[in-house]
Structure 1
Amino acid sequence: MRALSQASLDELKAATPGKQASLQLPHYDRQQMAVGVVHLGLGAFHRAHQALVFDALLAKGDARWGVLGVGMHSTALADALAPQDGLYTVQVASAAGRRWQIAGAVRQTCVAAREPQQVIAAIAAPSTRWVTLTVTEKAYGPELATLLVKGLAARRAAGLGGLTLASCDNLTGNGHKLRQLCLAAAQQSDADLATWITARCTFPNSMVDRIVPAATLQHRADAAEATGLDDACALGTESFWEWVIERDFADPLDAGVLASAGVTVVDEVLPFEQAKLCMLNGSHTAIALMGAVMSLPTVADCVAHPDIHWYVHELMTGVMMPQLRRPDLPAYRDALLERFANPDLRHKVHQIASDSSLKIPLRWLGTVKARLASGQQVEPLAFASAVWMRYLLAEDDQGRPYAISDPLGDRLQALAQQHRGDAAGTVQAMLALPSVWGNALPANPQWTSRVTFWLERIQAVGVAGALSQLRAAQATSP
């Protein structure tokens, strides 16, 4: 079987003229597209998200959106894509079925740690208009700042205009944080450069969303069956995607261009970020913890359980949505439930439950505090918190052990075992961790009482039994 490349793609297009419903090919002239985007953090998410937006713009005839995909340290993906001329195959799966797309937006690849001068030169190239980033929030430090500022300094020295630098990492106010990082680094070396960046470059906040599981050999095999070509970089994703970005671009006309490809351009990203954090991420954590203790391996397996499906709907509708400002919240909730039910994603609960001591403060606490302050009920989140404390015993309801991946894992498991069978003692010990719960909740009698009540029920009848009781109680509550 021939490997995927520009030559083998041209042969495939000649053999299958026109468009097929199940296979989408890049029919634009890839030789004519300019590298207009330098993307830092080449990986599965970018290839299944922003790169497909740029692919759609290229397909519309706008040749400015070719991508230089930059791996930050790992060379594996960049070197695998190079002999494929940047081409790769994406399986898009939904309840309606699967379709395939060969994406052509990635024009070149390199690795920042190995070829920093190529990255700097690309940022300073006349055709470059954007820099996008998916480097993970942990990477927003001196190394990233140095790379970007060197590129912007070279651009200024060449007499070129500014850029749009768009962080797509999971950080609230990610554009603001990136701007501060770059300006601080520029100030240390050249105050005039910092002034130029302020005047010429923009750093829009953005929120991105698409579930992209780790690529597998099955993706490669399925891609080969669909295309007749061997693709070492094939991956899969869901049909849902969202990119919400602030209306703040070096070229103001880009707002309309992006909107034409399905990007949501807004004046304020925060309401969308908060909805994602609470409704998607917060629900995901609750689902994963229940699934782990109930021996349900994936998110789809969990939401196929009637009581868990009810729980997620109730959590989002009755507890989270009243605190949020995103438009069309009911439609967003329904889209999330549909995504969670997608069996093709195989999103493993133990993967999602990892680092829960870091996720709970971000995903649950704001809602809990707001509702307690206004005297509203917190039952679904009290239940989820009790499930988390039960999860820390590291064994399911059938007594089968599992591993816990968490920076506080050893300490949390020791506390869970120390107070095993003692719901009140467990809750008191767990709520005493300020890094997880802050300082206010442990002193709130309503919160402590409700978490203790549900942990007692879980200890008595298991998570599934307690969940059934929660559903019955909520059905009769006013």
Structure 2
Amino acid sequence: MNDSSQTANLPAYDRSKLTPGIVHIGLGNFHRAHMAVYLDDLFAMGLAHDWAILGAGVREGDARMRDALMAQDCLSSIIELDPKGKSARRVGAMIGFVEVQPDNAALIAAMAKPEIRIVSLTVTEGGYFIDPATGQFDPTAPEIAADAANPHRTAFGAIIAALKARRAAGIQPFTVMSCDNLPGNGHVTEAAVVGLARLSDPALADWIKANVAFPNGMVDRITPATGPRERAMAAAFGLGDDPVPVTCEPFRQWVLEDNFPAGRPPLEKVGVTFSNHVHAYEAMKIRILNGGHATIAYPGGLMDIEYVHEAMAHPLILGFLNKLETTEIIPTVAPVPDTNLVDYYAKIVERFSNPEVADTERRLCLDGSNRQPKFIVPPLRDRLAAGQSCDGLALVSALWCRYCNGVSDNGTLIAPNDPNWDALQVIAKTAQSNPQAWLDQRTIYGDLAENPVFQTAFATQLARVRDEGCAAALRAYIG
């Protein structure tokens, strides 16, 4: 199919009839290919036209995104990368973008308006100020301490100011909905908002705790970063010189707790699952999908493989993923309503193998210091607590450690790929002769650093990766 002969579908509704009901903070690729698409589908059914999105942000990159989107009437180009044939659409669910300001005054004013009934966020997994050692909100984080002293500079500070203004005006509080990929993302968001408020106004913190809803949700759609390939693809669909098109896989999933006291759009009509068992869905996704991404990331990085679908075509990497998932990860996942975990994993393999997505191994390797504690350590902890083997999960950690040395098996330099890269590189080099140095990162492994079974498994795997190389280590594990 010749994509250049295709054209993008425009919104199938009159955007001039839309009014805002949601402020969304963090207009990255994922939000525009996920929540905005669900709302676009809903609006096309002639429903919920009072639930349009106002975009917002609190960082420099958000201002650049605002400029790009405002220049095209807040329309987002979404290109769905189905191997059977790509398709494109213009998503019109967002009708404005709040000015990005250092003091967030415009954002606070927008959220204080009574028609805004939901404030949603995609601020990345690392944007919630969680202490990795405890898994709890960290009130000593520099940005939080600065916000407490000079309020409203973070997204959470702005939310607190808007809630305070609504309380003073007698306006019902909005619901705060995280759309980030975190276990218990509603609880995590509540901890950040209430925790920050408590630093300066304990009474307001108590009021927020008692009156504001923070529903948990599980979100899923693979959305690669935008670069020249994606821009060229948008041009081929007649989308002009859009600087910020989004490409995504066909699959998408959204599971939400139905906890919206101020109201919500009827998202169940466009495929969103409302459930009291979000935790089960998110544990499944975080362990099987995100843990799977972490599993294939570092072998690909060490073997100089650029794309995820190429890694999936490598028999050693696919063999490693298959064995680890079926023997060490999936057995730690509790039952999920209306879901067969074997079928779910088979779909994951299909999604990872989609050549059209062209997701990169480097993206999967990014920020391991934040991702490993969330995606790999939890099943590792469960396996050890049950007295079960952890050789494969220990190998994931060993490969990550080896990657942080900064050079592939073929001698290619690996550019910094973690916010803590310099520190990780020092520890990784030390660990080549002293494996315990890597495990002693308590923000990653906590008390597992002292577990003799894990210590032995990690040391064994790291020695094999070091002495024989990544491919040999995978071959030995697969057996």
Map of 2:24 onto structure 1: 39
The Cα of 1:129 is off from its aligned counterpart by 2.1
Question: Taking CA–CA contacts closer than 8 Å with sequence separation of 6 or more, which of the two structures ends up with the larger relative contact order?
Answer: 2
Counterpart of 2:93, as a letter, is: A
Map of 1:270 onto structure 2: 279
C-alpha contact 2:81 2:87 (8 A) present in aligned 1 = yes
The Cα of 1:29 is off from its aligned counterpart by 0.8
Identify if the C-alpha distance between structure 1 residues 157 and 407 changes in structure 2 by more than 3 Å, giving closer, same or farther.
closer
The Cα of 1:454 is off from its aligned counterpart by 3.1
Structure 1 unaligned segments of length 5 or more: list them. Answer: 1-19, 474-478
Q: Distance in 1 between matches of 2:106 and 2:427?
A: 51
Map of 1:447 onto structure 2: 454
Does 2:112 correspond to 1:124? yes
Residues 20-39 of structure 1 mapped to structure 2, 5 A cutoff: 23-39=8-24
C-alpha contact 2:98 2:110 (8 A) present in aligned 1 = no
Does 2:69 correspond to 1:58? no
Q: Distance in 2 between matches of 1:234 and 1:247?
A: 31
Map of 1:94 onto structure 2: 82
Match for 1:463 among 446, 470, 478? 470
Question: Which range moved further: 62-71 or 368-377?
Answer: 368-377
The Cα of 1:113 is off from its aligned counterpart by 1.8
The Cα of 1:92 is off from its aligned counterpart by 0.9
Identify if the C-alpha distance between structure 1 residues 439 and 163 changes in structure 2 by more than 3 Å, giving closer, same or farther.
closer
Map of 1:385 onto structure 2: 397
Map of 2:53 onto structure 1: 67
SS at match of 1:102: strand
The Cα of 1:104 is off from its aligned counterpart by 0.4
Residues 222-233 of structure 1 mapped to structure 2, 5 A cutoff: 222-227=233-238, 229-233=240-244
Counterpart of 2:23, as a letter, is: V
Cα deviation 1:53-104 (Å, max 9, x = unaligned): 1111111112122111012233111122113111121111133221101000
Q: Distance in 2 between matches of 1:428 and 1:417?
A: 12
Identify if the C-alpha distance between structure 1 residues 114 and 396 changes in structure 2 by more than 3 Å, giving closer, same or farther.
closer
C-alpha contact 2:300 2:361 (8 A) present in aligned 1 = yes
C-alpha contact 2:8 2:239 (8 A) present in aligned 1 = no
Q: Distance in 2 between matches of 1:363 and 1:36?
A: 34
Map of 1:13 onto structure 2: none
Map of 1:110 onto structure 2: 98
SS at match of 2:243: coil
The Cα of 1:190 is off from its aligned counterpart by 7.0
CA RMSD of aligned residues (A): 2.8
The Cα of 1:105 is off from its aligned counterpart by 0.6
Q: Distance in 1 between matches of 2:363 and 2:277?
A: 31
Match for 1:205 among 216, 232, 236? 216
Residues 151-170 of structure 1 mapped to structure 2, 5 A cutoff: 151-170=162-181
Cα deviation 1:158-214 (Å, max 9, x = unaligned): 443332221122333332233344445666777776676456532111222222222
Identify if the C-alpha distance between structure 1 residues 68 and 325 changes in structure 2 by more than 3 Å, giving closer, same or farther.
same
The Cα of 1:432 is off from its aligned counterpart by 3.6
Map of 1:320 onto structure 2: 329
Give the count of matched residue pairs.
446
The Cα of 1:434 is off from its aligned counterpart by 3.1
Does 2:303 correspond to 1:294? yes
Map of 1:348 onto structure 2: 360
Counterpart of 1:165, as a letter, is: V
Does 2:445 correspond to 1:437? yes
Q: Distance in 2 between matches of 1:24 and 1:435?
A: 47
The Cα of 1:442 is off from its aligned counterpart by 4.0
Residues 394-409 of structure 1 mapped to structure 2, 5 A cutoff: 394-409=406-421
Map of 1:14 onto structure 2: none
C-alpha contact 1:393 1:417 (8 A) present in aligned 2 = yes
C-alpha contact 2:176 2:214 (8 A) present in aligned 1 = yes
Match for 1:82 among 56, 59, 70? 70
Rg: which structure is higher? 1
Residues 175-254 of structure 1 mapped to structure 2, 5 A cutoff: 175-183=186-194, 197=208, 200-227=211-238, 229-251=240-262, 254=264
Identify if the C-alpha distance between structure 1 residues 457 and 230 changes in structure 2 by more than 3 Å, giving closer, same or farther.
closer
Question: Which range moved further: 351-360 or 98-107?
Answer: 351-360
The Cα of 1:30 is off from its aligned counterpart by 0.5
Q: Distance in 2 between matches of 1:381 and 1:186?
A: 39
Question: Which range moved further: 365-374 or 46-55?
Answer: 365-374
Q: Distance in 2 between matches of 1:432 and 1:345?
A: 37
Counterpart of 1:39, as a letter, is: H
C-alpha contact 2:442 2:449 (8 A) present in aligned 1 = no
Identify if the C-alpha distance between structure 1 residues 363 and 204 changes in structure 2 by more than 3 Å, giving closer, same or farther.
same
Identify if the C-alpha distance between structure 1 residues 392 and 228 changes in structure 2 by more than 3 Å, giving closer, same or farther.
closer
Q: Distance in 2 between matches of 1:226 and 1:412?
A: 43
Question: Which range moved further: 74-83 or 142-151?
Answer: 142-151
